[in-house]
Structure 1
Amino acid sequence: MLQLFAHPFSSYCQKVLIALYENDTAFEFRMLGPDAPDAFGQLKSHWPIGKFPMLLDDGRPVSEASIIIEHLALHHPGPARLIPEDPKAALEVRFWDRVFDNYIATPQQKLVSDALRPEGSRDPYGVERAGAMLDTAYVHLDRHMQGREWVAGTSFSLADCAAAPQLFYADWTHPLGDRFPAVTAYRRRLNARPSFARCIEEARPYRPLFPLGAPDRD
């Protein structure tokens, strides 16, 4: 049995959960949190960095969300091919996966982490730069999504697994408003996708943990 060490409110954990749910892959969820010190200790014994999610496959640890999904595609494939067989198509999928992780998730997390800092140690310049990066990424994505259903190719892929949770939280942190209609429509489609809709519901009890205040929507 596969074991996933994760937390339901984490965007990167949701990214992997989407891939697992898309293919109805059987796994054991190892909840990480203050009430489960043993699970975190086991994670650290395999991956001293302590970051999650981490997949344990027959005793072999696999870390980093994109790599976990690649591992699942190789060793536990299902009917939903999240990484195309065609190398050129796969390259586009991997490119957009990196876009969402690097240029949506990273600045979004900067805004969240700054809110967790004590009042005297905030980083206004860093926050300003993060907001500007998100605006730049939104503009580029809005142009790209004109006339598209999914972000890379014609079918749901690894890139959409990355997009769903990152856009979900980014819109909470640095709202899209009515400035980027194609991105807003894409986010709505992602939220309605059964695999991600399940993640949204599983994470709902943890919304009070969001340091900027979870909006009364979604």
Structure 2
Amino acid sequence: MSLTLYSHPLASYCHKVLIALYEAGTDFDPVLVDLADPGDHARFLDLWPVGKMPVLRDDARDAVIPEATIIVEYLDLHYPGPQPMLPADPDLCLEARLWDRFFDLHVQDPMQRIVFDRFRPEDQKDRIGVAEAEQRLQVAYGMLETRLSGRRWCVGDTFGLADCAAAPALFFAGMIVPFGEDRTALADYFERLLARPSFRRVLAEAQPYFEYFPFYDRMPERFRTLSGD
């Protein structure tokens, strides 16, 4: 098979690419990378010395493609599915890229800062940094509430790149810092993402690893038993 995706089922940026692959129905070989295994880690660094997942290897084009957003765009260009991940209209395309970056920089990033802090020893906790990250999420949620009001998807009329970014970002962030009862447009949007078969499949595949998520105690029961059907 031409395409090989190096990823981990609990990594949210990997979820973003998997959603795009499942949306398009693109065949690929998944390779689980265990960074805690020295041999596995060394082999992955040979492929991409930066050491960040996901990474796509395309044997047919002799290409190694890192970074989730770039992988989704690469797949859209060379292995397109029935529905493009990026709009054909140039202005909408810029909008899609903007909101993709928004979810990565203003939802994923603060969420991950809070998650990584949970792993630190008690005397090395960054309480100020965590409080700042929580505030950043609240600001992002407020902006998304405005953005999503009256919209089905984040950009345009169809599911696309920005929604691939939104699904895993909101899934994990919402457990750590809830959206709030007054953000109904954001909550409804998240439910539409959760109903998407591609995202449900990703979450179903990740379920055996959920117990390793440091905020597993906050995970709603429905996520622990979610079916990929």
Normalising to structure 2: TM-score of the pair?
Answer: 0.91
1:1-218 mapped onto 2 (5 Å cutoff): 1-33=2-34, 39-58=40-59, 59-214=62-217, 215-217=219-221, 218=223
Helix, strand or coil for the counterpart of 1:62? strand
Give 5+ residue unaligned stretches, structure 1. none
In 2 relative to 1, CA 31–188 (structure 1 residues): closer, same or farther, beyond 3 Å? same
- Find the aligned partners of 2:7 and 2:50 in 1 and give their Cα distance: 14
- Find the aligned partners of 1:34 and 1:67 in 2 and give their Cα distance: 22
In 2 relative to 1, CA 86–184 (structure 1 residues): closer, same or farther, beyond 3 Å? same
Q: Which segment drifts farther, 133-142 or 54-63? A: 54-63
- Find the aligned partners of 1:155 and 1:74 in 2 and give their Cα distance: 18
- State, as a whole percentage, how many aligned pairs show the same letter: 44
Give 5+ residue unaligned stretches, structure 2. 224-229
Helix, strand or coil for the counterpart of 1:5? strand
- Find the aligned partners of 2:181 and 2:20 in 1 and give their Cα distance: 30
- Contact 2:33/2:44, CA 8 A, preserved across alignment: no
- Please report how far the alpha carbon of residue 144 of structure 1 lies from its aligned counterpart in structure 2 after TM superposition: 1.0
Normalising to structure 1: TM-score of the pair?
Answer: 0.96
Q: How many residues align?
A: 218
- Find the aligned partners of 1:158 and 1:41 in 2 and give their Cα distance: 31
Give CA-to-partner distance per residue, 1:62-108, whole Å, 9 cap, x none: 00000001111111112120011211110000000000000000000
Give CA-to-partner distance per residue, 1:39-83, whole Å, 9 cap, x none: 543321121011000000114210000000111111111212001
- Find the aligned partners of 1:75 and 1:36 in 2 and give their Cα distance: 33
- Contact 1:141/1:183, CA 8 A, preserved across alignment: yes
